[in-house]
């Protein structure tokens, strides 16, 4: 009997500043994912590590890759593009210059972080035809606005939680490097809780302030949040904040359709 052919999947690869995330899709639905960081896996963000993770995802789904969509904000490891082209019959890289369904209003698309565009495309795929604010809490916090579901206007960038914690330690003589996880009292009772509560409360206040300001211009604004689990954000006043940790991957997947 002829051997049954493996079903085909789509793979998205987001190469960020601190981690690389791989997500498997079947028929537009997320099936599985793996995140790689240098702290979790020695040399975990090399092409060989990405290839091993992709193989593990395919094996778990008993499938093979039909197409790969990818983007990067961090450095692309040596040999990655050659591996991707060998691993799938179709490979799409998203950059700020890639044609997408969104009208590009950003004045310097060649400097636009592709993850920002991907997350916006992902939010549009979940909630089309409305005004969107897409907030991605990672190494940096990015705020991007999609007007009417069809026009990418741009947005803002600020330091993420880890950057704020590291900068307090690096640019002062006495402040320690504090972990983001732990107690967050309203009033810090020692240096560690003072730093942690100050940074996380500041980030929450910043995010909520941006939402309030934009909601004045877009009363029907829908807010999507990806990342930032430690912040505990789910609502602003009576406005729900939609969460999806796969926004970037969904945006990349949309390019393969």
Quickly tell me which residue has 């983007």 as its tokens.
71
Q: What are phi and psi of 53, to 5 degrees?
A: -65, -40
- Comparing CA positions, the residue from 70, 77, 59 lying closest to residue 22 is 70
Q: What angle do CA 219, 225, 226 make, to 5 degrees?
A: 160
Residue 125 to residue 250: CA distance in whole angstroms: 7
Q: Is 115 a known active-site residue?
A: yes
Q: Is 186 left (phi over 0), alpha (psi -120 to 50) or beta?
A: alpha
- What separation in angstroms does the CA of 159 have from each of 61, 153, 163, 237? 37, 21, 6, 25
Cα first-last separation, the chain? 33
Structure tokens at 224: 């999507």
Would you say 45 and 38 are in contact if contact means Cβ atoms under 8 Å apart? yes
Please give the backbone phi and psi of residue 239, each rounded to the nearest 5 degrees, phi first: -100, 120
What does the alpha-carbon distance between residue 153 and residue 56 come to, in Å, rounded to a whole number?
38
Annotated catalytic residue within 38, 40, 59, 115: 115
Residues catalogued as catalytic: 115
């Amino acid at each position: 009997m002829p051997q049954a052919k493996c079903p085909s999947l789509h793979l998205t690869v987001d190469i960020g500043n601190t981690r690389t995330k791989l997500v498997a899709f079947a028929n537009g639905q997320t099936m599985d994912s793996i995140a790689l960081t240098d702290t979790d896996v020695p040399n975990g963000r090399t092409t060989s590590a990405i290839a091993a993770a992709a193989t593990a995802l395919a094996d778990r789904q008993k499938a093979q890759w039909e197409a790969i969509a990818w983007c990067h904000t961090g450095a692309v490891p040596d040999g990655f593009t050659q591996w991707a082209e060998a691993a799938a019959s179709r490979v799409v890289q998203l950059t700020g210059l890639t044609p997408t369904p969104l009208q590009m209003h950003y004045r310097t698309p060649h400097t636009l972080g592709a993850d920002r565009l991907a997350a916006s495309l992902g939010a549009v795929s979940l909630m089309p035809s409305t005004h969107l604010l897409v907030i991605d809490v990672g190494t940096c916090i990015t705020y991007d606005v999609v007007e009417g579901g069809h026009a990418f206007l741009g947005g803002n960038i600020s330091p993420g939680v880890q950057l704020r914690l590291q900068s307090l330690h690096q640019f002062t003589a006495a402040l320690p490097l504090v972990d983001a996880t732990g107690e967050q009292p309203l009033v810090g009772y020692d240096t560690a809780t003072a730093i942690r509560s100050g940074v996380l409360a500041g980030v929450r206040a910043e995010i909520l302030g941006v939402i309030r300001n934009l909601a004045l211009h877009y009363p029907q604004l829908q807010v999507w949040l990806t990342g930032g689990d430690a912040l505990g954000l789910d609502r602003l006043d009576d406005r729900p904040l939609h969460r999806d940790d796969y926004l970037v991957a969904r945006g990349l997947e949309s390019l393969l359709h």
